Structure formats: structure tokens, C-alpha cells
Amino acid sequence: MEVDIIGTAGEVTDERVAGKNVAVIDVFRATSVMVTAFANGAREIIPMTGIEESFRLRDEIVARHRQSGDNGPVLLGGERKTVIIEGFDLDNSPLRYSPDIVRDATIVMSTTNGTRAVNCARGAAEIYVAALLNADAVARRLGERGEDIVLVCSGRHDRFTIEDALCAGMMARYLGRHYGYKLTDIAWWCADVYRRYEDDLQQALDHCEHYHNIKGRWAEDIAWCLRRNVTDVAPHIVKEGGIRL
């Protein structure tokens, strides 16, 4: 049994994920948003790549709900270049996905990196959504399956980011220690980096370009996203194609 890590969404290929169990990570902020939304009662998140197709799918779901008498809200959430998409209901701040807004909601989501990474990994056997917020919960779910695992770091514009690597390292270390998984070179390296900075993630982030680009504007979001193991939710892709618990 082996744990591998892919450094960016752009590096995901069918060959690397086929038949594997995958966790997709985008700490700042897409998967942290998803995990928060599910912890606060969301019904389903549908990860989309394009903006126009997101609007079309939202309209289709609303029409189906009307026909079936389903009163659950249907929301559009996401961003481009960290800014809410015009016409969307929600941006990419986890703090906006509060229980009063997302409970029982279907959320059609499109982000620059995170939802793209999820869709790039569609060839995997199973796909989970992970962040620091639920890292151990997803690692346990994967470890219990006893099969090869690939942790996909979304990165930013196909460039490696430290915050995703820290989360992947945290999960790889957990899987090695608790389930006896062998770590590939990159998984061992990420696990070792996490070990060194486990007591002070901020020290590692001081070297993180993405963190410095967003910390002034999104300080509260960052503080939220850096919380570890605050929920046991383990969202995953279901056969219909959306993400559910």
C-alpha cells in the first residue's frame, strides 16, 4: 500500500490516479469551503470548471426542484482570482458558508484551482475532499480501505503551494504511522516538512508566495483554514457526479 502526492492540478493524469483512492486538497480556499459547507449542513456540492456551464446547471437544478417540490436552496459559489464571480451567490470564503445560508443547499461551485483539481481526478476509484479542517477524518477513511492513495494538491495556477503540501504531508504522515502505508519520495518529503513545522505552521507559511498574496485581504479566512481536525466530515464524489457526505 502506497501514498503518493501530486503537486498541482495540472500534473494530474488518468495514469496517476486510475484505480487509486484520491483526496483533493486546496487549503486556501476551495476544499476548506467545501468542508465547512458540509459541516454546516449543505446537501451537495457540484464542482464545475466553467462559469457559463455553472449558470446553466444551476438553472436546470432549480427547474427540477420546482417539478419535484424540493425547497432546498440552489446556490452558485466560487471565484476567479480570489474575487466572487459576477452573478454568483457566494464567493470562496468559508466564513460565508454558514448554517443559515447552506443548510440543505445544493451548491454549484467553480473556483480557479480547487474544483478544477477535483474534475481532473475523475478517473480515480474514489475521490474525497480534504483540508486541514478534516485531514485526519479523510485519512482514516482512506486508510481503512487499504488501497493505494494519491493526495492531489491543487496548487495555484499549476504552481506548487506550501499550504497544500503541509496538509498532504499531515495526511501522509498519519497514514504511514497508523496504517503502515509506504510513502513515495514526495510523500515522505511532505510528511517530513509537516513534522518540522507541526507546532508552528505560520513559520512554514512565511515562505509561501500564495499566503503572502492573500493574507492582507483574507486574514480571517486564512485563520479559519489553518484550523486542524475540527470536523469529521469526509465529503466524497458520488456516482451521480456531485460531492456528498
Q: How far apart are CA 218 and CA 199, in angstroms?
A: 22
Please give the pLDDT value at position 39: 98
Of 110, 127, 138, 115, give the one whose Cα is nearest residue 9: 115
Radius of gyration of the chain (CA): 17
Contact 29, 218 (CB under 8 A): yes
Of 29, 146, 153, give the one whose Cα is nearest residue 96: 29
The residue with cell 466530515 is 233
Please give the pLDDT value at position 12: 97
Q: What is the pTM of this model?
A: 0.97
Q: Which residues of the chain have pLDDT under 70?
A: none
Please give the pLDDT value at position 157: 93
Please give the pLDDT value at position 178: 98
Please give the pLDDT value at position 42: 98
Cell numbers that stand for 168 in this block: 498532504
Of 97, 86, 179, give the one whose Cα is nearest residue 131: 97
Please give the pLDDT value at position 21: 98
Distances in Å between the Cα of 66 and the Cα atoms of 2, 105, 206 are 46, 14, 49
Please give the pLDDT value at position 142: 98
What percent of the chain has a predicted confidence (pLDDT) above 90?
97
Class of residue 203 by CB neighbours under 10 A (exposed 0-12, middle 13-18, buried 19+): exposed
